Amino acid sequence: MLNHVNYQGDTGMNVNIEDQEVNKMELVTLLTKNRDDHEKTYQAANSGYRDKTVFELRKRAQQIDTGGKVNLNFSLCRPERHTSEYDTVIGLLNLSTAITVKLGLQDYRKLVQDEWDWSSGFRHTASGCMS
């Protein structure tokens, strides 16, 4: 982990931000909430994915029953569950004897702001499954 980074925010100013110590238990609480929110979103998206899949299969079965041409190729984006990534970090923090932990900007974005590398794709796929 870097001791400090130069960060250029929305203002365009370069700011030198050092890693910051944060309360470990507050971080675990926040991560647990983020994990639970992710799981709820995943469950809703997966239910929508299942409903859309069943609809498409029934539609094709009806086409087969009526003797129509059937395109068996269809594309649905299945949501991905990332709870294990939260669980890994939560587990590590729970094993730590430290009272505080140091976070850099990248860690902060993931662990506090809940902006992981996969977050944008997950939100996009989940919203498509739930619509």
pLDDT more than 90, % of the chain: 74
Do the beta carbons of residue 25 and residue 98 sit within 8 Å? no
User: pLDDT tens for residues 87-128?
Assistant: 999 999 999 999 999 999 999 999 999 999 999 999 999 999
Residues of the domain holding 111 = 4-130
Q: How many domains does the chain have?
A: 1
1 confidence band (pLDDT: 50, 70, 90): very low
Q: What average pLDDT does this structure show over 19-32?
A: 96
pLDDT in tens, 42-59: 999 999 999 999 999 999
Token pair recorded at residue 33: 């909430």
DSSP secondary structure letters along 82-125: -HHHHHHHHHHHHH---SEEEE-HHHHHHHTT---TTHHHHHHH
pTM of the model: 0.81
